[in-house]
């Protein structure tokens, strides 16, 4: 397969104003995507565009719209909308594709473009290669008679809200629960609080005043301290934190204790297992805590690890015919509910377990032993490959020898930013922290030499 130059593990992403996130490049990307995805059997269709709350979303939306129109494709504009909401609306509106303008959990000055197929799933690698190949062709605008038209999608938010609510058991409600919802000043700022309140919860919304610059800033799933503080101060029962594009969550209990993606996956899986509704096993990733794997295997629940990235979790779920998987970071995929990871829907599955059992989040995770795990992000150049560094590989072997069979080492390059993630887990927290710092220093020095 031809190597992709622009598409990473989660679409095209980078610093706004720097290649490939420039008006010119994104316009051409829109045209190329329109040619590959928007035209079928010689007949143009429609493509949906949604975005998060970054200030650059206005510019990139216009550039995409221009490129798609030039390709002869009609456009439906969704405005700010969680990524999984765009996937859902793409499928139900019978669109040819959906486009998301977002850099997820990254700072406001990053942005990105990713696509959903007409089925609301991430594009296969070969289709992304087709789009990249089309970008090498001269941009030819269709005749004026066939230019694409753009208009707003009526009641997009309302439709997605109703869909989210439909994934919560009809016999239940959230009455009596005080829930703090941290929207990360992102795409879910309007939708998420309404979903929980319409199901009966007493909702306290925070991170729901986006200004284009404050997305993910000291709030949301990557910065849960604000959520922890608010839950404690308000006497709430539970806190839910989304990321900037709404496809991942973390939660906190009434004491402010963080419940991460591994623990949330444990709650959902055991609730389904107890009700004989768990189809097959669970898919985690290379970063999934070893304690979660042992908890599942000890209950004879099959468990498999995919590469990091929700696209790989999805691919393995489809390959095995399973329905439930996720990442420590809070991407939870429930294929019986949605075609992609969805923070709001995942939270509702957890809340269904809380309401149905009458237990707290802490009680529901009491039987899960989480192994101490430390991760350090080492900033590098994009061309640095840890596998090609003998210095790094020698250090890894030394760490693995010290851990013996009581821990794991994972080094992986991020697919969304120029960092290498150095992760070590084991039974001794002090040892894990020390070894992670030492290995991260080796990676940092090797990366500086390579630069």
Question: What's the 3-state SS for 317-369?
Answer: HHHHCCCEEECCCCCEEECCCCCCCCHHHHHHHHHHHHHHHCCCHHHHCCCCC
Last residue of a domain, which of 202, 235, 253? 253
- pLDDT tens for each residue of the chain, 451 residues long: 455 678 877 789 999 999 999 999 999 999 999 999 987 777 778 999 999 999 999 999 999 999 999 999 999 999 999 999 999 999 999 999 999 999 999 999 999 999 999 999 999 889 999 999 999 999 999 999 999 999 999 999 999 999 999 999 999 999 999 999 999 999 999 999 999 999 999 999 999 999 999 999 999 999 999 999 999 999 999 999 999 999 999 999 999 999 999 999 999 999 999 999 999 999 999 989 999 999 999 999 999 999 988 889 999 999 999 999 999 999 999 999 999 999 999 999 999 999 999 999 999 999 999 999 999 999 987 678 898 999 999 999 999 999 987 889 999 888 667 899 999 999 899 999 999 999 999 999 999 988 7
Residue 195 lies in a domain: yes
* Domain C-terminal end among 253, 277, 294: 253
Provide the number of structural domains found in the chain: 4
Stated pTM of the model: 0.90
The CA angle 273-274-280, to the nearest 5 degrees, is 15
* Full domain range(s) for residue 242: 165-253
Contact between residue 396 and residue 358 where contact means Cβ atoms under 8 Å apart: no
Distance CA 343, CA 30 (A): 27
Whether 7 is in a domain gets the answer no
Give yes or no: residues 247 and 268 share one domain: no
| Domain presence at residue 1 | no
Q: Is residue 6 part of a domain?
A: no
Strand 97-101 to 178-182 pairing: unpaired
Identify whether 20 is preceded by a cis peptide bond (ω within 30 of 0).
Answer: yes
Give the domain-ending residue among 191, 225, 253. 253
CATH number of the domain that 425 lies in? 3.30.310.50
Separation of alpha carbons 51 and 57, rounded Å: 6
The H or E element spanning position 208 is: none
In this structure, the answer to whether residues 142 and 23 fall within a common structural domain is yes
CA distance 38 to 25: 18
Q: Is 62 a catalytic residue?
A: no
Whole-angstrom CA distances from 191 to 82, 166, 228, 407, 445 are 8, 14, 21, 41, 45
The pair phi, psi for residue 283, each rounded to 5°, is: -105, 125
Domain co-membership, 140 together with 21: yes
Whether 3 is covered by a domain: the verdict is no
Are 381 and 450 in contact by the 8 Å Cβ rule? The answer is: yes
- Three-state SS annotation for 7-74: CECCEEEEECCCCCCCHHHHHHHHHHHHHHHHEECCEECEEEEEECCCCHHHHHHHHHHHHHHHCCCE
Rounded to 5 degrees, φ, ψ at 446 are: -65, -40
Q: 431 by DSSP, 3-state: which? A: helix
Task: Indicate if 16 and 135 belong to the same structural domain.
Answer: yes
Catalytic residue among 69, 102, 104, 329: 104
């Amino acid at each position: 397969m031809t190597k992709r130059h622009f598409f990473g593990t989660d679409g095209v992403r980078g610093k706004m104003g720097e290649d490939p996130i420039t008006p010119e490049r994104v316009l051409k990307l829109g045209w190329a995507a329109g040619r590959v995805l928007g035209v079928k059997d010689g007949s143009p269709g429609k493509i949906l565009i949604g975005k998060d709350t970054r200030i650059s979303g206005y510019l990139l939306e216009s550039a995409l719209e221009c490129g798609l129109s030039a390709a002869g494709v009609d456009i439906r504009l969704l405005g700010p909308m969680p990524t999984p909401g765009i996937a859902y609306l793409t499928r139900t509106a019978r669109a040819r594709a959906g486009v998301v303008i977002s850099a997820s959990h990254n700072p406001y000055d990053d942005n990105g473009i990713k696509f959903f197929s007409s089925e609301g799933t991430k594009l296969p690698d070969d289709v992304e290669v087709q789009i990249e190949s089309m970008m090498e062709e001269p941009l030819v605008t269709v005749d004026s008679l066939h230019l694409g038209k753009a208009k707003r999608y009526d009641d997009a938010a309302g439709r997605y809200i109703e869909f989210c609510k439909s994934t919560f058991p009809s016999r239940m409600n959230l009455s009596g629960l005080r829930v703090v919802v941290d929207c990360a000043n992102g795409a879910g700022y309007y939708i998420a609080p309404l979903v929980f309140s319409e199901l009966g919860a007493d909702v306290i919304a925070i991170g729901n005043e986006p200004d284009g610059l404050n997305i993910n800033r000291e709030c949301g799933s990557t910065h849960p301290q604000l959520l922890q503080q608010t839950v404690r101060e308000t006497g709430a029962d539970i806190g839910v934190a989304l990321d900037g594009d709404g496809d991942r969550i973390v939660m906190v209990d009434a004491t402010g204790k963080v419940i991460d993606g591994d623990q949330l996956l444990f709650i959902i899986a055991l609730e389904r297992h107890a009700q004989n509704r768990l189809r097959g096993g669970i898919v985690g990733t290379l970063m999934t805590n070893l304690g979660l794997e042992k908890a599942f295997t000890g209950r004879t629940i099959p468990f498999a690890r995919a590469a990091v990235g929700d696209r790989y979790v999805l691919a393995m779920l489809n390959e095995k015919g399973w329905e439930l998987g996720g990442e420590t970071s809070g991407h939870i995929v429930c294929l019986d509910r949605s075609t992609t990871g969805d923070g709001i829907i995942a939270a509702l599955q957890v809340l269904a377990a809380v309401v149905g059992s009458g237990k707290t989040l802490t009680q529901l995770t009491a039987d899960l032993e989480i192994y101490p795990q430390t991760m350090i992000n080492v900033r590098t150049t994009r061309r640095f490959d840890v596998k090609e560094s003998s210095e790094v590989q020698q250090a890894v072997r030394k760490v693995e020898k010290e851990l013996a069979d009581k821990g794991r080492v994972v080094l992986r390059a991020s697919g969304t930013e120029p960092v290498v993630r150095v992760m070590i887990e084991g039974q001794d927290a002090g040892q894990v922290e020390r070894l992670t710092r030492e290995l991260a220093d080796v990676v940092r020095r090797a990366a500086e030499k390579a630069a």
